[in-house]
Chain A
Amino acid sequence: MTQKELEIILTRQLASYLATPIFIVDPDGSLIFYNEPAEALLGRRFEETGEMSAAEWATLFEPRRVDGTPVATEELPLIMTLKSRTPCQSDFWIVGLDGRRRHLDVVAMPLLGQASRFLGGVLLFWERGASP
């Protein structure tokens, strides 16, 4: 596996200390890490899912709007952020890998490193509510 950029390593280390759920992707959108609070919302430990491509994670959690319509991959805030390199936010329902539905607020931010290198993005979650 190739060496991660320092800023990404530090972001992971910060995320591992925070109680805020965080999901980190590289510039291609591949998931490279999510922290323990995110594991609780996504329903599976990162060690079990491992890294995965954008095409995989974008559909894995079955994101749906409040009205029940599916959120297309290109409409997901993190995917939009990677494309535009600007912040995006939204709320939607997901189905965690533990089978539970959760209503999440999400904020996606681009990660820019030293010399303005584009390193990917982070997604911050906030749980609004859950249904069994």
Chain B
Amino acid sequence: MRVTLWGTRGSLASPGPDTARYGGNTVSAEVWSDDGHVLVLDAGTGARRLGASLAGRVKRVDLLITHLHMDHIQGLGFFAPFYSPGLEVHLWGPASSTMSLRTRLGRYMSPPLFPVRLRDLPCDLTVHEVPCGKFHIGPFTVDATMICHPGPTVGYRVNVGKTSLAYLPDHEPALGLHGPLLPDGWTSGLELAKGAGLLIHDAQYDDEEYASRIGWGHSTMRRTIEFATLAGAERLVLFHHDPAHDDNTLDAMTRLALAAEKPAMPVSLGAEGERYDLAER
């Protein structure tokens, strides 16, 4: 399995010279199996270049959305596979308790916010409300679980053979806690991340910022490292960078978090274009 990051920024796209190293596009990632199947995770602004790169390479694209905040769907209208006549595109994401996924997406993919409606796309589009639990897409076994973030939000675990990716780009597992994260089933998202070969996880804030943003649905770098340690993840990628954090700020925050938490696993900042090859263990 091969994972490539096409957008690493949270909340708002933040292009510019100060964010060039880690990237300014909002979240999107690509997962290839060794036999040529592709999953796209989220469709922030990074999905524009990602989608363009797929032209002529695939007969089917599965796009898995974690939730419908703008930084995860703004690239939908510019996702090239949508405009490829007859291309099989499957869009997966959570419904709400009162509205179907298609209706929810249609609120963005319709005038006045966007000129093209979902129903007018020329691709062969199927919208799936993601089931909680395991389902299969080609060689991928996907596990979707509701996780702690405002509004219906899922995290994904993707397995192919013995390789595994856990993807929780927006997640606040420490909501309401003052002490350590709770083991034994009481920490949101932990089962998804357990023993993952690669964990891509929200790490938007430092401790001081978090104090005034409790309940916004995001984690601190230190809580994310704590979460990864509790889960026994083999490698952690800090993700969903705050738009106000330039590259130097991110480096400084990471140094402090690593010094405080001393994680046993490799930890790095997600950067646009970064690729991770997950080998069979």
Closest A residue to B149 by CB, please name it: A6
Residue in B closest to A9 when the chains form the complex, CB atoms: B188
Answer whether residue B226 sits at the interface, using C-beta atoms and an 8 A cutoff. no
Q: Is A5 an interface residue (CB 8 A)?
A: yes
Interchain CB contact under 8 A, A6 and B187? no
Which A residues are CB-close (under 8 A) to B148? Answer: 6, 9-10
Inter-chain contacts of B185 with A (CB < 8 A): 1-4
Q: Which residue of A lies closest to B153 (CB)?
A: A6
Say yes or no: is B20 at the interface (Cβ < 8 Å to chain A).
no
Chain B, 106-140, contact with A by CB distance < 8 Å: what is the 0/1 string? 00000000000000000000000100100000000
Interface centre among A14, A17, A114, A117 (most CB of B within 10 A): A114
CA distance A12 to B97 in the complex (A): 21
State whether the Cβ of B80 lies closer than 8 Å to any Cβ in chain A: no
- CB of B146 within 8 A of CB of A7, answer yes
B190 near A114: Cβ-Cβ < 8 Å: no
Contact (Cβ within 8 A) B97 A13: no
A30 contacts the other chain (Cβ, under 8 Å)?
A: no
Say whether, besides A9-B148, A13-B175, A17-B176, A3 and B95 are in contact (CB < 8 Å): no
Q: Are A115 and B95 in contact (CB-based, < 8 A)? A: yes
Main secondary structure of the interface of A (DSSP, over half): helix
Within B55-100, which residues are at the interface with A (CB < 8 Å)?
94-97
* Chain B residues whose C-beta falls within 8 Å of the C-beta of A117 in the assembled complex: 132
Q: Do the beta carbons of A114 and B94 come within 8 Å of each other?
A: yes
Q: Say whether A131 faces chain B, with CB atoms less than 8 Å apart.
A: no
Min distance, Cβ B135 to any Cβ of chain A, angstroms? 14
For chain B, the bracket of interface size reads 20 to 34
Q: Flag A81-112 by CB within 8 Å of B: 1 or 0 each.
A: 00000000000000000000000000000000
Interface string of A31-63 (1 = CB under 8 A from B): 000000000000000000000000000000000
B189: shortest Cβ distance to chain A, in Å?
8
Q: Are A115 and B175 in contact (CB under 8 A)?
A: no
Tell me if A73 counts as interface (CB < 8 A to partner B). Answer: no
- List of B residues within 8 angstroms of A7 by Cβ: 146
Contact of A9 with B187 in the complex, beta carbons under 8 Å = yes
CB distance from B92 to the nearest CB of A (A): 14
Report A-chain residues with C-beta under 8 Å of the C-beta of B188. Answer: 6, 9
Query: Closest CB of chain A to B277's CB: distance in Å?
Result: 29
| B176 / chain A contacts, CB cutoff of 8 Å | 13-14, 16-17
Chain B residues within an 8 Å CB radius of A6: 145-148, 188
Q: Contacts A3-B185, A5-B146, A6-B147 given: A116-B97 contact, CB under 8 Å? A: yes
Distance (whole angstroms) from the CB of B134 to the closest CB of chain A: 13
Query: Are B145's CB and A3's CB within 8 A?
Result: yes
- Whole-angstrom CA separation of A123 from B147 in the bound complex: 24
B147 in contact with A4 (CB, 8 Å): no
Asked if B190 contacts A3 (CB within 8 A), the reply is yes
Please name the residue on chain A nearest to B174 by beta carbon. Answer: A13
Please give me the residue from chain B that is nearest to A33 by CB atom.
Answer: B186
Q: Residue of B at shortest CB range from A4? A: B185
B209 CB–A CB distance under 8 Å: no
B: which residues have CB within 8 A of A? 94-97, 129, 132, 145-148, 152, 175-177, 184-188, 190-191
**10 nearest CB pairs, A to B:** A3-B191, A13-B176, A6-B146, A1-B185, A1-B184, A4-B185, A3-B185, A9-B188, A114-B152, A6-B188
23 A-B contacts, Cβ less than 8 Å apart? A1-B184, A3-B185, A3-B190, A3-B191, A4-B186, A6-B146, A6-B148, A6-B188, A9-B148, A10-B175, A13-B175, A13-B176, A13-B177, A14-B176, A17-B176, A113-B146, A114-B94, A114-B97, A114-B132, A114-B146, A115-B95, A115-B129, A116-B97
